[in-house]
Copies of this chain bind each other. A is one copy, B any other.
Amino acid sequence: MTSPGEFELIQRHVLKSLSGERDGYDRFACADAGVELGPGDDGALLVPTPGHRLVVSTDTSNVDVHFPADAPAHAIGHRALAVNLSDLAAMGATPRWFTLALTLPEADTAWVDAFAEGLHALAHRHGIALVGGDITRGPLSIAITVMGEVPIGQALMRHGGADGDHLLLTGPLGGANAGLKAWQRGERDCKTSALAAYLYPVPRTRLGERLRTCANAAIDLSDGLWADLSHLCRASGLGAELSVPDSAYAPSLASLDANERSQAFWHGGDDYELLVSVAPARLGEAHQAAAALGHELIYIGKLSAHTNAIDGGPDNPGGWRHFGETS
């Protein structure tokens, strides 16, 4: 073993920063979170909850593809975990554990500290524990695998939608896309609602947990409403009849022209709200569950067996087609 090189030093720094050793708080000590053995060995030892299914999802965030190279490190850490937590939310799962594969180009300790803070602040809020990681050298890339749990039989899936189900959004859409455009125009005040919507999406995990007992199907809105609604319709074998109210559009879209506004709403993506389908008989329960968490579900239409298309979508849906034609 030769004397530690520069990259070995940054690996140690990342581990210290991620473990909270820097600020005197051991983020890895999570006995109450079902962690029998945390990072540091060849693998972590975790305690699954009896009567539950394990829910697993993975999402990668690459520089210049999924976020701008000059985005704040704190936001990159937040966002990389948020997009994964959103997948657990869409399954109705309770977040438990995650692993981090972090590829770093250089030894920038200030960047690493801010990244770790953004990541852990979100992890702490959602009760998910970092149980393993690998820090390698290369172009900036963050691959996270999240694990959650859901009681047997309660997972929300895309294929569960039924004819007549109401289609509901957990929040207005298009704000993240407006934020991305603001960033590209040079705006840098991350406290504006538009930039925050893009850089700091809020995964709807608690809402997903509440809705798992009353919704039939769910999907998270990462690729844009048009694409993700198409996924849900295809999986459920149904079409949709939409009637989208103004309240479904993010307020930050108000200043755009009609075409940009429609584009951001239907195709912008990155909002990480949920789209859920709820049977008419369970609507009261769903709205109450949302209200208990301070949310208002937005009705945008119904699933329908009378069409195999999505009616009431954008006037000009670009490469529009019956969802059955997409693979």
Residues of chain A having any CB pair with chain B under 8 Å: 1-4, 12, 36-37, 40-48, 50, 52-60, 62-66, 86-88, 90-91, 93, 97, 99-101, 103, 131-134, 136-139, 141, 143, 145-148, 150, 155, 157-159, 218-220, 224, 226-227, 230, 235, 267, 317-321, 326-327
CA distance A136 to B155 in the complex (A): 27
Residues of chain B within 8 A (CB-CB) of A218 are 42
Residues of chain B within 8 A (CB-CB) of A230 are 1
Central interface residue in A52, A134, A155, by most chain B CB within 10 Å = A134
Residues of chain B within 8 A (CB-CB) of A224 are 1
Central interface residue in A48, A93, A317, by most chain B CB within 10 Å = A48
Whether B132 and A58, one on each chain, are in contact in the complex, defined by CB atoms closer than 8 angstroms, is yes
CA distance A150 to B146 in the complex (A): 20
Given contacts A58-B101, A136-B60, contact A326 B1 (CB under 8 A): yes
Question: What are 15 residue pairs bridging A and B, where the CB atoms are less than 8 Å apart in the complex?
Answer: A1-B267, A1-B317, A37-B157, A43-B56, A43-B87, A44-B56, A45-B150, A46-B54, A48-B53, A56-B131, A58-B134, A59-B101, A59-B134, A60-B101, A66-B136
Whether A227 and B1, one on each chain, are in contact in the complex, defined by CB atoms closer than 8 angstroms, is yes
